[in-house]
Amino acid sequence: MTQEDEYFMGIALREAEAGLADGGLPIGAALVRDGELVASGCNQRVQAGDPIAHGEMDCLRKAGRQKTYRDTVLYTTLSPCMMCSGTIVQFGIPKVVVGEAENFDGNIDFLRERGVEVVLLDDEGCKDVMRRFLAKPGNDALWNEDIAED
């Protein structure tokens, strides 16, 4: 992990922790351009009652309109779901740094097959925040709702 990866994943992880503290799912993201933070966000599905307000989507909404995303890096604490992966491909984000894929393997292969560089950090902090969420009684149902599982 580079110092830059550590720094920006730290921002995404703080977003995940904030989402957890606010009663939501602990998934955070940060969008970076030329070593500068463009925006960060966290999963807002519970807080906003918005089914597509995943961490990556909240981050991109906060970034607002961009002329291009082809010069950005997206940091996310958890491997992206198909909706978020599709958005990454649609916007042409060339690189995604993933905190962990143990608690949810997401769609790393899908991204790589479409030319996105994916760096998997296997970060213990990212794993821990998700484990703490999943260990709380009742959160398994909330998690299944988030990833559209029965």
Residues annotated as part of the active site: 56
The DSSP output letter for 143 is: H
Residue found by looking up tokens 């921002």 in the block: 11
Query: Tokens representing 38?
Result: 């463009």
The closest of 58, 49, 70, 3 to 30, measured between CA atoms, is 58
Residue 83: CB atoms within 10 A of its CB come to: 16
Query: Hunting for tokens 């580079």 — which residue is that?
Result: 2
Phi-psi domain of 2 (left: phi exceeds 0; alpha: psi -120 through 50; beta: other): beta
Quick one: which H or E segment has residue 137?
A: none
Give the ranges where 64-138 is alpha helix by DSSP (H).
Answer: 82-91, 108-113, 124-135
